[in-house]
Amino acid sequence: MMPARQVANGSMNEYRVSSRNYNYAHFEFSQENPAKVYWRSVAPALGTVMNDFELLSLDGTEWRLSTHLGAPVVIECGSYTCPIFCSRISAMEDLASEYDDTTFVVVYVREAHPGEVTPPHSSLDEKRACASRLVAAESIRRTVLIDDIGGSVHLALGASPNPVFVLDSQGRLVLRRRWNEPTDVRRCLLALSAGRHPTPSEAMGFGAPCERSPSGEEILKRGGIQALTDFSIGAPSLVRRMLEASTPQVQRHIQK
């Protein structure tokens, strides 16, 4: 299994991610800037060959990255309570069908917005159950891999809730985004399928907005009241305005 690199500098003191606190009980916007620093320091670098790793798929089959090289590989991380990840599932499933010579996998990670409906994982069985619920709810056909309870692979990949990585046939990283944007993935795969090597690229921010429901609704439904309340605490002004303009049930549970 790919170990997470140890990062210890002044800017990281606020963001000590370990197996002890990886599965947080409360989402905090205050951790966003330290999380960006962690991503920049730890996520695999563009142009390098990604370290090999092995995880079990949802059906119990062993999956190892190195055995799938020789063709492009797309690795995305996500969870049942991450609305950004879920909003991109349809587009990513379409890409997986279109580029059937490419290996697509989803690494199931910690819950982005845990609450009383979907608590943080306390065991691998609970994590696997959440992944099963995701696959059933979203009709995911891509291979879903279950990270260990301490998030070893996720931490080594930068620990963002919904990153995406595109590897060429040699395992070199040609795209990394802290937040998945399917149009960028398509651009890379189009170049690779045409025998061209895409210019390595990366992005830190969100791509095109793709909300499937009013702001906060999905967090409330899948995480719970606590998850939505946590999301509203310290929310940036734009997010705050969107929550305040959302449905009555969302408005009822955001922090005043």
The range of the structural domain enclosing residue 208 comes to 14-212
Phi then psi for residue 46, to 5 deg, are: -60, 140
- pLDDT at residue 207 in the model: 77
Please check whether residue 123 lies inside any domain of the structure: yes
141 and 177 Cβ atoms separated by less than 8 Å = no
pLDDT tier, 16 (very low <50, low <70, confident <90, very high otherwise): low
Please check whether residue 251 lies inside any domain of the structure: no
The total domain count for the chain is 1
| Among candidate residues 252, 205, 209, the one with its CA nearest the CA of residue 228 | 252
End-to-end CA distance of the chain: 44
State the Cα–Cα distance between residues 78 and 145, nearest whole angstrom.
10
Helix (H) or strand (E) run with residue 87 in it: helix 83-87
Please check whether residue 57 lies inside any domain of the structure: yes
State the Cα–Cα distance between residues 161 and 82, nearest whole angstrom.
7
Please check whether residue 235 lies inside any domain of the structure: no
pLDDT in tens, 137-157: 999 999 999 999 999 999 999
| pTM, entire model | 0.92
Return the bridge partners of 167, or none: 73, 173
- pLDDT at residue 20 in the model: 60
Please check whether residue 248 lies inside any domain of the structure: no
Q: Which residues of 10-30 are buried (b: 16+ CB within 10 A; e: fewer)?
A: eebeebebeeeebbeeebeee
Helix (H) or strand (E) run with residue 64 in it: strand 62-64
Mean local confidence (pLDDT), 41-67: 96
202 and 176 Cβ atoms separated by less than 8 Å = yes
103 and 76 Cβ atoms separated by less than 8 Å = no
pLDDT in tens, 152-173: 999 999 999 999 999 999 999 9
Structure tokens at 112: 């982005």
**Domain containing residue 94: CATH number:** 3.40.30.10
Residue type, 67: T
Please check whether residue 47 lies inside any domain of the structure: yes
Please check whether residue 183 lies inside any domain of the structure: yes
Please check whether residue 53 lies inside any domain of the structure: yes
